[in-house]
Amino acid sequence: MTGSSSLLPLLAGAPSTETPHDWVDRFLLAGPDEQECLRFGAPVDRATLRALVAEQAERLTAAGLSAGGTAALRLAPSLGYTAALLACWQLGAQAVLLDHRLTAHEVGLAVERLAPQVLVESAHRPAASLRGFAETDPVPVALPGGRPAATGHALLQLSSGSTGPAKVIARTAADLLRELDCYRRLELFPKAGERVVLLSSVVHVLGLVGGLLNSLHARVPLTVPERMTTAGILATIAEDDRPTTVIGVPFHAELLAGATAPPALPQLRRMIVAGELVRPGLPAAFTARYGVPLGTMYGMTELGVIATDLDGTLHPQAAPVHGMDLREDGGELHIAMAASPYPGLADRTRWSDGWLHTRDAGRVDPQDRRVTVLGRRDSQVSIGGLKVDLTEVEQTLAALPEVREAVVVFEDGAIGAYLATVDGADPAAVRAALARELASYKRPRELSFLPALPRTATGKLLRDTAALRAAAGAAAAPAR
């Protein structure tokens, strides 16, 4: 019996309080000692991973962490991060995930806000920006004034912050196991005998659950490339003959689709991306380059995976995963969720009466229940009394041959666009194309051209107007 099938009794409606205390050992660490499970440069078998988790549990215990306690992890993707996280859960503690790229000031604000009892950081220096993983030696330090967990949640995450300040999102162990069961039911998601190459951050939901935790649970070896460059990713895919699925965000698919003369990759089965809408033309460009589909998933930190189109045949629709109940409400997607995922936040515009308000515009087909995500609900604006969908403007821009990526914003009553263009592109040609493709009231009043658009730590395009203005100003400043 595999670890996947043993989830079924737990997931037959049991509340989170009935999650077995040894869920990490049963569902994530179980398996033959010699079985490869992870590869951060060198392969790691399950016996080695269990020993590393036990070592980290001893360190955390020595720092004062126990069942019901709280620990914040600020660690780069690594074997040390994996062991420290699983050790926290093994002890029955609540884990708070902080991206390792946060500044000391940002970490201080997060610690002040969340008050963990223990902060875990690495004794080693941070890795270079293009490194896929790092060498880490987790060091737990007790924090004065830290508080035990106020709820029974196993995990606290911060939203990506692509549109503004991050919010705190909580998930129970039972919810994480429910999501793993959803992945188990997806026929086209990697199974035993295959492998995963993970490009997404393991601090955020796709890389954490869809990548790291699911690979441990499904017994699918997971590899993180040493370098997150096009050449580094392609070399990682090519180094193993087993059927391979690549998991990342659309930015990674853009990188690979733009590769010049990539090597033959007969082991590549598909790439799966999530995190934001895919640029028109990208799925076809990726398939033309590699001969395999670019699958997409729709999900949220609050719930994990919600709907999928793993073979690219449903686009722009996606099929809800098992047990996911979606509805339209005034053009916004709502998803059934028994309790609010926002601890300490009573905001009925985000969650009310058993429904999570996604703030995503979308449609749900009344016949087959497939969902079409149209973009953020706040992308609907009024220009001179006429409704304009900023997502439509953005996708029109992104589809132009001169444009590599685009972000469209609404500020001070006007539409603005920030663009990164292909080498040698003429801004006048972009403006002329927009005049052909969009009605005058939909066109951005101002176009800002940058070498590359700023992104969040997870690879999403940044939509905060202040950050975009700063990036445009820096691009326009003369070199000194």
Q: In angstroms, how far is CA 3 from the centroid of its own chain?
A: 24
Average pLDDT over residues 464-469: 88
Average pLDDT over residues 309-326: 95
List CB contacts of 111: < 8 A, sequence separation 6 or more.
72, 119, 143
Q: Phi/psi at 9 (nearest 5 deg)?
A: -60, -35
pLDDT tens digit string along 59-70?
Answer: 999 999 999 999
> What distance in Å separates the CA atoms of residue 36 and residue 38, rounded to the nearest whole number?
6
**Do residues 368 and 429 lie in contact, with contact meaning Cβ atoms separated by under 8 Å?**
no
For residue 421, what are its two tokens?
Answer: 């263009």
Burial label for 85, CB within 10 Å (0-12, 13-18, 19+), is: buried
Provide the 3-class DSSP secondary structure of residue 293: coil
| pLDDT of 440 | 86
| pLDDT of 7 | 55
Long-range contacts, stretch 402-409, CB < 8 angstroms, 24+ apart: 402/426, 402/429, 402/430, 402/433, 403/430, 404/254, 405/254, 405/279, 405/452, 405/453, 405/461, 406/453, 407/453, 407/461, 407/462, 407/463, 407/468, 408/444, 409/463, 409/465, 409/468
Give residue 438's region: left, alpha or beta (phi > 0; psi -120 to 50). beta
| pLDDT of 116 | 97
Confidence of residue 102 (pLDDT cuts 50, 70, 90): confident
The DSSP-derived string for 214-257 is HHHHHT--EE--SB-SHHHHHHHHHT--S-EEEEE-HHHHHHHH
Output 158 or 447, whichever has higher pLDDT.
447
**Do residues 136 and 328 lie in contact, with contact meaning Cβ atoms separated by under 8 Å?**
no
Q: Is the pLDDT of residue 337 over 80?
A: yes
Q: Report the run of H or E that residue 289 belongs to, with start and end.
A: helix 282-290
Of the candidates 401, 382, 381, 383, the residue with the CA atom closest to the CA atom of residue 391: 381
> What distance in Å separates the CA atoms of residue 222 and residue 450, rounded to the nearest whole number?
35
Output 7 or 176, whichever has higher pLDDT.
176
pLDDT tens digit string along 221-271?
Answer: 999 999 999 999 999 999 999 999 999 999 899 999 999 999 999 999 999
For 457, other C-beta atoms within 10 Å of its C-beta total 15
Going by CATH, does the domain composed of 384-476 fall within 3.40.50.150? no
**Do residues 422 and 406 lie in contact, with contact meaning Cβ atoms separated by under 8 Å?**
no
Q: What is the mean pLDDT of the chain?
A: 89
Q: Is the pLDDT of residue 297 over 50?
A: yes
Q: Percentage of residues in the chain with pLDDT exceeding 90?
A: 67
Output 314 or 105, whichever has higher pLDDT.
314
Q: Is the pLDDT of residue 389 over 70?
A: yes
CA atoms within 13 A on the CB side of 191: 7
Confidence of residue 128 (pLDDT cuts 50, 70, 90): low
> What distance in Å separates the CA atoms of residue 178 and residue 111, rounded to the nearest whole number?
29
Q: Is the pLDDT of residue 91 over 90?
A: yes
Least confident of 139-153, 420-434, 465-479: 465-479
Q: Is the pLDDT of residue 311 over 90?
A: yes
Q: Is the pLDDT of residue 480 over 60?
A: no
pLDDT tens digit string along 257-278?
Answer: 999 999 999 999 999 999 888 8
Going by CATH, does the domain composed of 31-171 fall within 1.10.510.10? no
**Do residues 305 and 275 lie in contact, with contact meaning Cβ atoms separated by under 8 Å?**
no
pLDDT tens digit string along 356-372?
Answer: 999 898 999 999 999 99
Least confident of 6-20, 142-156, 196-210: 6-20
pLDDT tens digit string along 407-439?
Answer: 999 888 889 999 999 888 899 999 999 988 888
Provide the 3-class DSSP secondary structure of residue 407: strand
> What distance in Å separates the CA atoms of residue 2 and residue 27, rounded to the nearest whole number?
9
| pLDDT of 160 | 54
Q: Phi/psi at 446 (nearest 5 deg)?
A: -135, 135
Confidence of residue 191 (pLDDT cuts 50, 70, 90): very high
CA angle 346, 119, 143 (to 5 degrees): 85
Confidence of residue 16 (pLDDT cuts 50, 70, 90): very low
Q: Percentage of residues in the chain with pLDDT exceeding 70?
A: 92
| pLDDT of 390 | 87
Provide the 3-class DSSP secondary structure of residue 383: strand
Average pLDDT over residues 279-290: 92
Specify the amino acid at residue 38.
L
Q: Is the pLDDT of residue 139 over 50?
A: yes
Q: Is the pLDDT of residue 459 over 60?
A: yes
Average pLDDT over residues 118-136: 83
CA atoms within 13 A on the CB side of 52: 20
**Do residues 132 and 232 lie in contact, with contact meaning Cβ atoms separated by under 8 Å?**
yes
Q: What is the CA radius of gyration of the chain?
A: 22
Domains of the chain: which residue ranges?
Answer: 31-171, 384-476
Q: Phi/psi at 181 (nearest 5 deg)?
A: -65, -35
pLDDT tens digit string along 40-58?
Answer: 999 999 999 999 999 999 9
**Do residues 104 and 151 lie in contact, with contact meaning Cβ atoms separated by under 8 Å?**
no
Give residue 11's region: left, alpha or beta (phi > 0; psi -120 to 50). alpha
| pLDDT of 166 | 63
Burial label for 449, CB within 10 Å (0-12, 13-18, 19+), is: middle
